[in-house]
Chain A
Amino acid sequence: MATPPRGQLRLLTCGSVDDGKSTLIGRLLHECGAIADDTRDTLARDSRRLGTTGDAPDFALLLDGLEAEREQGITIDVAYRHFATARRSFIVADCPGHAQHTRNMATGASNAELAVILVDARRGVLAQTRLHAAICALLGIRDMVLAVNKIDLVMFDQDVFERIAADFRTFAAGLALRSLAAIPVAARSGDNLATRSPHLAWYAGPTLLGYLETVEVAEDAAAPFRLPVQWVNRPNPDFRGLSGTVAGGAVGLGDGVVIAGTAMASTVARILGPDGDVERAAVGEAVTVCLADDLDVARGDMLSAPADRPAFADQFAAHVLWMDAAALLPGRQYALRMGTAWTTASVTAIRHRMDVTTREQQAARALALNEIGFCHLATARPLAFDAYAANRRTGAFILVDRTTNQTVGCGMVAYPLHRAGNVHREAYPVDQAARAAALGQRPMVLWFTGLSGAGKSTIAKLVEQALHGAGRHTYSLDGDNLRHGLNRDLGFTAQDRVENIRRVAEVARLMADAGLIVLCSFISPFRAERQMVRDMLPEGAFVEIFVDTPLAVCAARDAKGLYAGALRGEIPNFTGISSPYEPPEAADLVLDGAGGAPEVLAARVVEVVERYQKK
């Protein structure tokens, strides 16, 4: 029995709560015979127990996979469902409709080629409808279907349908869509899903399924060639191939290619597809390319067409959608993945927060969960990329928390920023090694972290005295002192704390570069910022010293009278009271601030310093 050659369409459905998304998908699965008998038995049993449709099967229950969700009656994550017709197989991402799960919609949209936007014919286009359509457009979906559901509940009224369709078209005019179809349906009864409805004689267009089977969503084959190198394939000394999935355009034998951002160029000598040698590879194909020249290429590099190269920069502007409960803070370092490259990055500025529905721009100093901002980012090294509008595969990135490894944000590049290109680092003949040698010591940064009143400064002073006495060259940086000068403009919000530590870190790095042993006493409550300082310095030169004094002891000492004020609510954002402190997970040294005389604790630090100096 021959299987007809089929294509595949990946789509997502979205709409407000109760618009009937799950019912629609469940019904499509049913119509396409994708629901097995035993599953249908389970469905019938579940429908009686959990359903909202009386004795009729509640198709929505098919979709709500996880136990907790079924009991709550809402979908909380993205579920993927499959069904097929003779012409196409479909993968549907079912995305939740409630506003706080914008991130799930973005997740579903990132891999979808088309979006089905559902509205309830009785309620029409809602704020949520517009929000979801705008998110889909932001994520690069250029083809949409407006499914006007529950048309049976408005007596199959053509005027209602036309009004809703016109309403949505007006809004969608700003979304730069390639195609938009409006289709009246009744998901529960199946009207106009797979078969034409006798109640909708006034509607001349295709059924929903008929439309999905034929709508054209192909990627642009004429786009410039891109191949992010995923893996260097070197099974033996005679073969060196660059494996990866073509992310734009196509390449053929003999074509010239360049490594983006370098002067390296070559020609394509061989292309291995899944079944061996081929002459040509196009977007979406997983291949191994051999070049005529043996170039120094690694994972994270990008092969590109010489005539139309990607941008190559370490600063760019992008839309960022934030997906984590802890806000995005400018200046904080995140891991960033773009294509096959991983690096670290920070948001240098939030140009504005965006209301995606109204496109209104608002000033913002941070991005909270589910907020979208237009941001400037800086990466630790330059990357090759395209604008997301030109290429969804090479213009997208994710941001990952470096401590928890949670995916916390995603972004779509708008354009590179070239400022970085004009500011080159100057190299000076007298370098850190020369300066350190002149001082006869190895520069290092001793970083004391802990609650206010933990004893950081007290211990640091004793350490510095001891080192100074031993002929070491030192300098102390202290939170309170710097806030009188360099950091005078900063307050105590989470954003300002991040910026405070970033500046301190830069100063400490300069002083270590000058050859000094730098003692830093800062509450520095966040792991991410302490990690940032560590990353700025050579391996081993950063010593994280956790002055671990219980909150009760610090509060009882209250040398500066701050705890009393904070507990009375007079000092907002006070670490340990109204602002969090994240203790180090792997400090180089932990000092029990309540368990020993400061002199004893200081001696332990001096010991660590002297050990490093003798290495």
Chain B
Amino acid sequence: MAALAPHLRRLEAEAIHILRETVASFRNPVLLFSGGKDSTVVLHLARKAFAPGGPKLPLLHVATGWDFREVLAFRDRMAASLGARLIVHTNPDGLASGIGPLSHGSRVHMEVMATEALKQALDAHGFDAALGGARRDEERSRAKERVFSHRGPGHAWDPRGQRPELWALYNTRLGPGETMRVFPLSNWTELDVWDYIAAEDIALVKLYFAAPRPVVRRGGALILRDDARMALAPGEREETLSVRFRTMGDWPLTGAHESRAATVAEVMAELRQTGMSERHGRLIDSDQEAAMERRKREGYF
């Protein structure tokens, strides 16, 4: 394997430092693993950080009931191959009430099945730190996020009460009922992640790469009908296009785009040319002004 470029080596070392810091400082940390590329990279880094032992942390996936089937299969394969303990949680109340993006809209769905569900899972297992793959370059309210981001009781984020974070001297102290969210990829960009995936030859879920897939045009987005719960509206029809996904969310809320990029190198070439930001395909972020910041305050990752 070719040596990593200096900027990737530096980002890698920093992420390993953050992972070790989390394991050394918290009683019961967990790694949020969604099967997406960012959390797959975090998992890859965790293997390096704790070598020659295993990844040290249980994996938690908050399943909303609308995850891509391929992502779920990938998630299970990864956990099994690492011998990691995988915890899957779905909000039972939301499930019982039949909450879903098609019937209730993206805002209610995300609130109940993602935000609430995450809080339930963290509380039920008593996790005091949760590692995630979020990056500062993703979205503008993330740009000010700390690497060790403190959450009050009830998992609320107070953007004005954030602790100053100096040097690598992370303040890992918690009061009763408080938790920490930890972001080892804070300083990475989307292109850094892909650079790293290419250099390290990291396996990803295939949806990131272009292939002929049956999609429906809805609300200006290309939606992959992953199961029959989405009925076709009058005038809608399924067509097979060469598409890929830039992020992994719930399938009715995640738009694909037409692409021929079938390898990591082709994806990177496409990214360099593309004019759209990463979260553009996500139908949930545009549902209101400053949507992400509001959701984060309520406890979303």
Instruction: From the candidates B140, B167, B276, name the one contacting A111 in the complex (CB within 8 A).
Output: B167
Q: Are A245 and B168 in contact (CB under 8 A)?
A: yes
Q: Are A230 and B171 in contact (CB under 8 A)?
A: no
Q: Bound complex: CA of A88 vs CA of B10, how far in Å?
A: 13
| A96: min CB distance to chain B, Å | 11
User: Which segment of A100-108, A193-201, A456-464 sits at the interface?
Assistant: A100-108
Query: Using Cβ atoms and an 8 Å threshold, which residues of chain A touch B140?
Result: 62, 65, 79
Q: Are B143 and A6 in contact (CB under 8 A)?
A: no
Query: Using Cβ atoms and an 8 Å threshold, which residues of chain B touch A272?
Result: 51-52
Q: Are A1 and B143 in contact (CB under 8 A)?
A: no
Q: Are A275 and B48 in contact (CB under 8 A)?
A: yes
Instruction: From the candidates B1, B171, B275, name the one contacting A400 in the complex (CB within 8 A).
Output: B171
Answer whether residue A236 sits at the interface, using C-beta atoms and an 8 A cutoff.
yes
- Give residues 278-292 of A contacting B (CB, 8 Å): 284-286, 288
Answer whether residue A235 sits at the interface, using C-beta atoms and an 8 A cutoff.
yes
**Per-residue B-contact encoding for A100-134, CB less than 8 Å = 1, 0 else:** 00011011001100000000000000000000000
User: Which segment of B31-39, B70-78, B186-194 sits at the interface?
Assistant: B186-194
Q: Are B166 and A107 in contact (CB under 8 A)?
A: yes
Query: Using Cβ atoms and an 8 Å threshold, which residues of chain B touch A170?
Result: none
Query: Using Cβ atoms and an 8 Å threshold, which residues of chain B touch A262?
Result: none
Query: Using Cβ atoms and an 8 Å threshold, which residues of chain B touch A67?
Result: 289-290, 293
Answer whether residue A476 sits at the interface, using C-beta atoms and an 8 A cutoff.
no
- Give residues 113-152 of B contacting A (CB, 8 Å): 136-137, 140-144, 150
Q: Are A405 and B17 in contact (CB under 8 A)?
A: no
Q: Are A80 and B164 in contact (CB under 8 A)?
A: no
Instruction: From the candidates A84, A323, A339, name the one contacting B164 in the complex (CB within 8 A).
Output: A323
Instruction: From the candidates A6, A231, A407, name the one contacting B20 in the complex (CB within 8 A).
Output: A231
Query: Using Cβ atoms and an 8 Å threshold, which residues of chain A touch B53?
Result: 233, 235-236, 239
Q: Are A337 and B143 in contact (CB under 8 A)?
A: no
Answer whether residue B163 sits at the interface, using C-beta atoms and an 8 A cutoff.
yes
| A153: min CB distance to chain B, Å | 29
Answer whether residue B229 sits at the interface, using C-beta atoms and an 8 A cutoff.
no
Answer whether residue A187 sits at the interface, using C-beta atoms and an 8 A cutoff.
no
| B21: min CB distance to chain A, Å | 6
Q: Which of B159, B163, B166, B174: most chain A CB closer than 10 A?
A: B166
Answer whether residue A301 sits at the interface, using C-beta atoms and an 8 A cutoff.
no
Answer whether residue B50 sits at the interface, using C-beta atoms and an 8 A cutoff.
yes
Q: Which of A106, A233, A323: most chain B CB closer than 10 A?
A: A233
Q: Are B13 and A406 in contact (CB under 8 A)?
A: no
Query: Using Cβ atoms and an 8 Å threshold, which residues of chain B touch A244?
Result: 20
Answer whether residue B82 sits at the interface, using C-beta atoms and an 8 A cutoff.
no
Query: Using Cβ atoms and an 8 Å threshold, which residues of chain A touch B13?
Result: 245, 274, 284-286
Query: Using Cβ atoms and an 8 Å threshold, which residues of chain B touch A107?
Result: 164-166
Q: Bound complex: CA of A235 vs CA of B52, how far in Å?
A: 7
Q: Bound complex: CA of A365 vs CA of B77, how far in Å?
A: 62
Q: Are A288 and B159 in contact (CB under 8 A)?
A: no
**Per-residue B-contact encoding for A37-72, CB less than 8 Å = 1, 0 else:** 111000000000000000000000011011110000
Q: Are B189 and A84 in contact (CB under 8 A)?
A: yes
Q: Are B171 and A77 in contact (CB under 8 A)?
A: no
Q: Are B24 and A230 in contact (CB under 8 A)?
A: yes
Instruction: From the candidates A89, A233, A274, name the one contacting B7 in the complex (CB within 8 A).
Output: A89
Answer whether residue B269 sits at the interface, using C-beta atoms and an 8 A cutoff.
yes
Q: Bound complex: CA of A472 vs CA of B234, how far in Å?
A: 90
Instruction: From the candidates A77, A230, A274, A397, name the one contacting B48 in the complex (CB within 8 A).
Output: A274
Query: Using Cβ atoms and an 8 Å threshold, which residues of chain A touch B187?
Result: 80, 82, 91
Q: Are B20 and A286 in contact (CB under 8 A)?
A: yes
| B180: min CB distance to chain A, Å | 11
Query: Using Cβ atoms and an 8 Å threshold, which residues of chain B touch A36?
Result: 274-278, 280
- Give residues 377-414 of A contacting B (CB, 8 Å): 392-393, 396-398, 400, 404-407, 410
- Give residues 1-42 of B contacting A (CB, 8 Å): 1, 5-7, 9-14, 16-17, 20-21, 23-24
Q: Are A230 and B141 in contact (CB under 8 A)?
A: no
Q: Are B20 and A80 in contact (CB under 8 A)?
A: no
| A82: min CB distance to chain B, Å | 5
Answer whether residue B195 sits at the interface, using C-beta atoms and an 8 A cutoff.
yes
Q: Are A243 and B20 in contact (CB under 8 A)?
A: yes
| B61: min CB distance to chain A, Å | 25
Answer whether residue B177 sits at the interface, using C-beta atoms and an 8 A cutoff.
no
| B93: min CB distance to chain A, Å | 30
Query: Using Cβ atoms and an 8 Å threshold, which residues of chain A touch B83?
Result: none
Answer whether residue B54 sits at the interface, using C-beta atoms and an 8 A cutoff.
yes
Query: Using Cβ atoms and an 8 Å threshold, which residues of chain B touch A1?
Result: 265, 268-269
Q: Are A8 and B21 in contact (CB under 8 A)?
A: no
Q: Bound complex: CA of A261 vs CA of B173, how far in Å?
A: 26
Q: Chain B residue with minimal CB distance to A337?
A: B169
Q: Are B293 and A66 in contact (CB under 8 A)?
A: yes
Q: Are A410 and B166 in contact (CB under 8 A)?
A: yes
| A413: min CB distance to chain B, Å | 12
Q: Are B143 and A89 in contact (CB under 8 A)?
A: no
Query: Using Cβ atoms and an 8 Å threshold, which residues of chain B touch A38?
Result: 275-277, 280
Q: Are B275 and A37 in contact (CB under 8 A)?
A: yes
**Per-residue A-contact encoding for B45-59, CB less than 8 Å = 1, 0 else:** 000111111100000
Q: Are A235 and B10 in contact (CB under 8 A)?
A: no
Instruction: Indicate whether A407 sits within 8 Å of B17 (C-beta atoms), given known contacts A5-B6, A299-B24, A323-B164.
Output: no
**Per-residue A-contact encoding for B193-215, CB less than 8 Å = 1, 0 else:** 00100100000000000000000
Instruction: From the candidates B11, B16, B168, name the one contacting A8 in the complex (CB within 8 A).
Output: B11
Q: Are B6 and A398 in contact (CB under 8 A)?
A: no
Instruction: Indicate whether A288 sits within 8 Å of B51 (C-beta atoms), given known contacts A67-B290, A84-B189.
Output: yes
Q: Bound complex: CA of A398 vs CA of B140, how far in Å?
A: 28
Q: Are A66 and B144 in contact (CB under 8 A)?
A: yes
Q: Bound complex: CA of A239 vs CA of B54, how far in Å?
A: 13
Answer whether residue B219 sits at the interface, using C-beta atoms and an 8 A cutoff.
no
Answer whether residue B162 sits at the interface, using C-beta atoms and an 8 A cutoff.
yes
Q: Bound complex: CA of A230 vs CA of B22, how far in Å?
A: 10
Q: Chain B residue with minimal CB distance to A76?
A: B160
Query: Using Cβ atoms and an 8 Å threshold, which residues of chain B touch A136?
Result: none
Answer whether residue A260 sits at the interface, using C-beta atoms and an 8 A cutoff.
no
Q: Are A39 and B16 in contact (CB under 8 A)?
A: no
Query: Using Cβ atoms and an 8 Å threshold, which residues of chain B touch A182?
Result: none
Q: Are B174 and A405 in contact (CB under 8 A)?
A: yes
Instruction: From the candidates B5, B23, B136, B277, name the one contacting A80 in the complex (CB within 8 A).
Output: B136
Q: Chain A residue with minimal CB distance to B275?
A: A37
Instruction: Indicate whether A82 sits within 8 Å of B169 (C-beta atoms), given known contacts A6-B5, A235-B53.
Output: no
Query: Using Cβ atoms and an 8 Å threshold, which residues of chain A touch B275?
Result: 36-38
Q: Are B136 and A396 in contact (CB under 8 A)?
A: no
| B172: min CB distance to chain A, Å | 9
Q: Bound complex: CA of A398 vs CA of B51, how far in Å?
A: 30
Instruction: From the candidates B7, B54, B136, B159, name the one contacting A66 in the complex (CB within 8 A).
Output: B159
Answer whether residue B235 sits at the interface, using C-beta atoms and an 8 A cutoff.
no
Answer whether residue A81 sits at the interface, using C-beta atoms and an 8 A cutoff.
yes
Query: Using Cβ atoms and an 8 Å threshold, which residues of chain B touch A231?
Result: 20-21, 23-24
Query: Using Cβ atoms and an 8 Å threshold, which residues of chain A touch B174?
Result: 405
Q: Bound complex: CA of A82 vs CA of B139, how far in Å?
A: 12
Instruction: From the candidates B9, B52, B268, name the one contacting A239 in the complex (CB within 8 A).
Output: B52
16 residue pairs bridging A and B, Cβ less than 8 Å apart: A1-B269, A36-B276, A37-B275, A65-B143, A68-B160, A89-B7, A111-B167, A111-B168, A230-B24, A233-B50, A245-B13, A245-B16, A285-B13, A286-B14, A338-B169, A405-B173
Top 10 nearest A-B pairs by Cβ distance?
A235-B53, A37-B275, A36-B277, A8-B7, A286-B16, A110-B166, A231-B24, A286-B13, A65-B140, A405-B173
Instruction: Name 14 extra pairs, CB < 8 A, besides A231-B20, A323-B164, A407-B171.
Output: A65-B293, A104-B164, A230-B17, A272-B51, A392-B167, A393-B167, A396-B167, A398-B166, A400-B171, A400-B173, A404-B175, A407-B164, A407-B166, A410-B169
